[in-house]
Chains A and B, each alone.
Chain A
């Protein structure tokens, strides 16, 4: 940005208008990362707008969810607003262990990831949402490629999730087919939903899909750390993963240098707190009603001034 300024100053040779210096530690822009899902962009924009109201300069940088840790470690990037316990824990721990990245606490939202089916499946498979009903109607979920096993559309392989292990441990008559991206995942859901065709797939919230489509998560035996680590715990005494997926917080992280350079901003980011419901509503506004992120955020900010003004004091 500096370069532009120099260039344009040189180009125009106009006198510099003296900027009003707000009362913050540094005028350098704080770089917030944005990823490729709407919820994260909304969270980041809310934080960015609030920091701007506090007088900080900010810059949004588009970066990959996992690859960004390399930038956070070197200080190329400064703040990442959504690291999900369920998908980002490993990368986050690796980064915080180096001491160059710090965890700024929970964002208030809870990540839920689980097998999900649309509401009309309950007619075909009355025992749902209990997981034990799944085997009775595995054939309903089958396709030519997977028959006689049911077809479960899993998330991209990189998201993990231990679904193959879960199927094995719980003796489910299902086969996992991995989508390559979440766009493919929702394309299949949309297609099936339009035709009222059977489908069971990986879904997560906060996201627009559970709001747009009526349906429920399958109820697996409840998750525990022991269930994942110790085969003897749980329904199947010989296998681990005989339970549902963990539910976990969504974390905020930052480059360790942020604390020294912009301590006030760190305090505001640490204070940031929003729940699944509010976020779900915002995501629905943007992804389903076509409101732009900026408008949705501006609306939320004006409606919740009391909440966020406390974060920047």
Chain B
């Protein structure tokens, strides 16, 4: 890593002086020593334990293990069964919250799928049918046209039409209903918390670690307590979705509000705004474009949750993916998965369009209402027409089943063809990678004794970020060992390290390519976007068919998912290099290869490091999902806790994953900061 050089360098291009050279050499020596020592410990820890008869070297002594999981489980059952505020119990309180969420959810569901009816169960009589598929498509198009233009409207319409054509309509509407509820709650809650931390600095300091945890603790870890508190059914899934999708909104709104220019606020004060007016009428409208970026994030993350949410009763497209794959209907899984992608594309593009929307003239006098509001009137007209016509012509109400398309057969046949014809070649590649890369790395991490692991993390933290980081790393690593999760943590670290390495090796060159060619960029960009929104379960099962259950399959799935940031940040880094630098290089007579290696790469280092950071985060979040194919890491621990409904175990394992993520995040961020300083980019 280039971040090892001494601090205090602030030259615009790395041109080492003698003193810096020395510092750099000392830096290398430190890392070399650390690595050799760790390797030595890892190699001989077992022998050491045998020689000294000290089992504590490789296993954290059982009697000192922290029994935090039982404490948490007990706390949970106390919360569910006994906790009370006097007037009402804690559970009644959470159930009240569920009812609050359930009411609008049921309403949207009725609007989109079930229709409104009176009476219970079999005595129910439908009074008003749900929106017809035509009406929904027209509405989606109208919203897109309102947000930008006719082209976007066509895209949105096409996306929704896909859902109807491929027979995914009903499930897609269920998913849309949960998104329609989760997103406003996530956005509203996120905005309020963002305002709070903008106004009250203490709140920001308390919120920040909480947000870190919300983003890094795997969702599986808190599904069980949510089920206990909010009951079984779609509401719990919604709550989990909101927890997962809200943090970026909080962060974005704090930043957006902070970056409202002082002049505008000043102007607002001079007009005599009250505090409240200043916030709602001045700051928030000014920050609106940035806020919409947050909204977009919330939508995308909610769609990411579709599969996991369907495991606890959300139904919809996620449920279709799961059931299709459970009966090995790979094509069915892919179609439902692509439906999620398509919906994500529509929602993503439209919400992005809102972020950059130009405000148009609204009030023109003397023009009739329907001409002033052509979109709204079209929608209302279509709504009315389809609802009435739908009573007589069923195909207007719901898309006829007989005209749906399916590509399912071809996918299955294609998969079989690859499996039968290429399995041996794939097996050979796998064996090579296993023996050259995976197994040595596994042995290395697996052998590190816990005590040395804690010391080494402390040293790394101290070297990179000073004593604060050192303290944090030491404590967090100790937490892993203290809870008896050392071995599983090391498997997690090993799988994550190998996957991140591969993702970078594949992703960075692709990113560099995309950064230099617009055409490559559009193709690579599409592939990357699809890989990220396609639910990982869709490709997890084909991967298992080709590579069997085991670490290798898990690694492939993680690499596919975590590739995106490596590519994106590399492309971004290359693209945002000052053209003057490149010109200067050209003038000095650099060949294009020299240009790449001597100028572009060093200058893109901070970007590459940020990409690395994101790759690690995504890899860790995916590792939990790969427990579904069978790994023996923290992800498995979390998953076991989920299937056994053990709250404590799940939360402890989830926290362990979060701590690993937070350590990696802080270390890489510190590296990126230093390399930025060194390059004089700050």
- Which residues of A come within 8 Å of B, CB atoms? 1-5, 7-9, 11-12, 14, 16-17, 19-22, 27-29, 33, 36-38, 52, 55-59, 61-71, 76-77, 143-145, 153, 156-158, 177-188, 190-191, 194-195, 197, 208, 286-288
Contact = CB atoms under 8 A, between A and B. Distances in A.
A76 B107 contact: no
Given A177-B550, A194-B420, 19 more contacts: A1-B106, A3-B99, A4-B116, A7-B116, A20-B123, A28-B120, A55-B122, A56-B121, A66-B644, A67-B227, A67-B642, A70-B228, A180-B629, A181-B628, A184-B628, A190-B328, A190-B545, A191-B419, A194-B416
B243 to A, nearest CB: 18
Contacts of A67: 224, 227, 642-643, 645
B125 interface: yes
B119 A19 contact: yes
Contacts of A191: 419, 423, 544-546, 548
B127 A14 contact: yes
B628 A180 contact: yes
A68 B434 contact: no
A5 B419 contact: no
Given A52-B122, A61-B313, A177 B549 contact: yes
Contacts of B127: 8, 12, 14
A179 B629 contact: yes
A186 B228 contact: no
The DSSP consensus for interface residues of chain B is helix
A7 B107 contact: yes
A63 B630 CA distance: 22
Interface string B618-642: 0000000011111100001001101
B122 A180 contact: no
A57 B328 contact: no
Task: Identify the interface centre among A11, A59, A157, A184: most chain B CB within 10 Å of its CB.
Answer: A184
Task: Identify the interface centre among A17, A58, A64: most chain B CB within 10 Å of its CB.
Answer: A64
B312 interface: yes
Contacts of B434: 144-145
B125 A17 contact: yes
29 contacts: A2-B120, A4-B116, A8-B110, A8-B118, A8-B128, A9-B118, A17-B118, A17-B119, A21-B123, A27-B121, A27-B123, A64-B312, A66-B644, A71-B231, A180-B549, A180-B626, A182-B326, A183-B541, A184-B544, A184-B549, A184-B629, A186-B327, A186-B328, A187-B328, A188-B548, A191-B546, A191-B548, A194-B416, A288-B327
B313 A4 contact: no
Interface residues of B, number: 65
A186 to B, nearest CB: 6
Contacts of A186: 326-328
B120 A7 contact: no
Interface of B: 80, 99, 102-103, 106-107, 110, 116-125, 127-128, 224, 227-228, 231-233, 311-313, 315, 319, 322-323, 325-328, 416, 419-420, 423, 427, 431, 434, 540-542, 544-546, 548-550, 626-631, 636, 639-640, 642-645
Contact of A19 (B120, B224, B431): B120
B123 A4 contact: no
Contacts of B118: 5, 8-9, 14, 16-17
Task: Identify the interface centre among A2, A158, A185: most chain B CB within 10 Å of its CB.
Answer: A158
A187 B544 contact: yes
Contacts of B544: 184, 187-188, 191
Contacts of B427: 144
B94 to A, nearest CB: 12
A77 B628 CA distance: 26
Nearest to B116: A8
A90 B311 CA distance: 22
A3 B102 contact: yes
A312 to B, nearest CB: 14
A116 to B, nearest CB: 16
Contacts of A61: 232-233, 313
Nearest to A37: B326
Contacts of A287: 327
A286 B640 CA distance: 29
Task: Identify the interface centre among A36, A62, A68, A186: most chain B CB within 10 Å of its CB.
Answer: A62
Contacts of A187: 328, 541-542, 544-545
A14 B125 CA distance: 12
Contacts of B644: 66, 158
Contact of B325 (A27, A70, A177, A183): A183
A8 B117 contact: yes
